[in-house]
Amino acid sequence: MPVSKQNCPVTQCTFGKNFHFFGYYEKPQWDLSGKYLLGLEVAPIKRYMRSDDTATIGMIDLENQYKFIALAQTTAWNWQQGAALSWLDFFDDGNWLSYNARKQDGSGYEAVLLNIKTGEQRKLPMGIYNVTPDHRYGLALNFKRLRYAHPTIGYAEPDEGSRSGGRPNDAGAVARPPDHPADDGLFRMDLQTGEVKLIVDLESTVQIGHDPSMDGAIHWFTHPIPSPSGHRVLFIHRYAREISKRHYWSYRLITAGINGGDVYILDQSLSPHALAALDPNIAEEAVIKDRHEHGYSHDLWLDDEHPMAWGHRPGGAHYHVYADKSDAVSILGEDCLTENGHFSFCPANPDWMISDLYPDAEHMQTLFLYQLSTGNRIDVARFFHDPEQSGHCRCDLHPRWSRDGKTICVDSTHNRERQMYLVDVSAITRA
């Protein structure tokens, strides 16, 4: 198996009694100059967030002893994806960033654009999940729906604990939204004008390749990722009759045009429990053994024509690469990329992929590089994961590239805190 180890230098870059992290891995964390690193500062709590838990948005000065510079505050955040922080490179020489916030009237969420030089702010009508490469559009989802269907990546709702007997992690903590309405789904929001367009709705999506297991289930979209050209978007369609049982979830991997329409179902993974729910002659116990053998999680684009995702297919669980709008599928790193992780490609040299692994039996998380041209995997660092921070408030490494491809930033509870660390991989990527 082409796996080797090369320990790379690791430097902690956030400090203090509070926790610091960034979240998901597909957004630019470094500014254009390479001097500032975006991050969040939150109280040192080890529980699901509440609607009044405040996160301070700031940037770490990499040229001034890692000083944390506070910029703004928000209560729209979660442990996995933070507040969807992102630099907006094409706004005023890269001096603008975006983050999500709670609307003051309590009606939902909005995106805030902030100029770090002038302090100017602009507010847009929906929270952003991702942005297109030209930073013209934000891809938006209904975070209230996500709070019910996918609490890990939703935002806490006010007074939700009283609904579920004080258990805010539960789906029952908030009211169930409609199963698959025609006015909800994936939205495109113009970052200059704030104009919002629903480009893929849930109702129409359910009718494409409809399966009986979709009836009576609640549906939602996650992980919308724009293609490198920004012309298409890749996302995951999930649905389930019982949200609280993760093995009941079914999945479809979909691409669509950024202007709406041109929807293509790349792949689907039906929960075996969905069959048991439909047919009383199928005992649920008969499919328990398959509970972890289906589904998709993390997605990205290899290039403009090839979306990819970690997922389960008849040949097993792998990083699968698809030819968009076709049935062609291949496996990346079949002999060494054998576990799920959060992957992305080096912006300076896309021959290199970074990814991570979930904690092993010793609570250690592995960070590794994979070279596409050689098929070699290099494990570069290991981090301890605090078992007290698990479930919805776990801390995945979520590795993010510097723009020059020399450094990786990760979130980690290595010291039983939650801080950010820099890993110098230049000795490998410059070779």
Collect all residues with Cβ–Cβ distance below 8 Å to 267 and sequence separation of at least 6.
252, 253, 296, 309, 311, 313, 320, 322, 329
Share of the chain above pLDDT 90, in %: 83
The residues facing 414 across adjacent strands are: none
Six-digit token string for 200: 């893929």
pLDDT at residue 106, as a whole number = 87
Mean pLDDT of 179-191: 98
End-to-end CA distance of the chain: 21
Residue with tokens 């290899």: 302
* CA 100 – CA 397 distance, rounded (Å): 21
55 versus 160: which is more confidently predicted? 55
344 versus 164: which is more confidently predicted? 344
Where is average pLDDT lowest: 91-95, 119-123, 203-207?
Answer: 91-95
Q: Would the pLDDT of 286 be above 80? A: no
pLDDT band at 2 (very low <50, low <70, confident <90, very high): confident
160 versus 7: which is more confidently predicted? 7
Question: Which pTM value belongs to this model?
Answer: 0.94
**Segments in 55-115 forming alpha helices (H):** none
One-letter amino acid identity for 269? S
- Name the pairing type of β-strands 376-384 and 3-5: parallel
pLDDT at residue 91, as a whole number = 87
Contact 56, 40 (CB under 8 A): yes
Q: Would the pLDDT of 228 be above 90? A: yes
Taking CA 129 as the corner, what is the angle to CA 126 and CA 132, rounded to the nearest 5 degrees? 100
User: pLDDT tens-digit profile of 342-361?
Assistant: 999 999 999 999 999 999 99
DSSP 318-353: EEEEE-TTSS-EEEESTTT--S----EE-SS-TTEE
Mean pLDDT of 279-290: 54
Q: Would the pLDDT of 81 be above 90? A: yes
User: pLDDT tens-digit profile of 296-345?
Assistant: 899 999 999 999 999 988 888 999 999 999 999 999 999 999 999 999 99
pLDDT at residue 47, as a whole number = 92
DSSP 313-326: ETTEEEEEEE-TTS
pLDDT at residue 401, as a whole number = 98
pLDDT band at 163 (very low <50, low <70, confident <90, very high): low
Q: Would the pLDDT of 288 be above 80? A: no
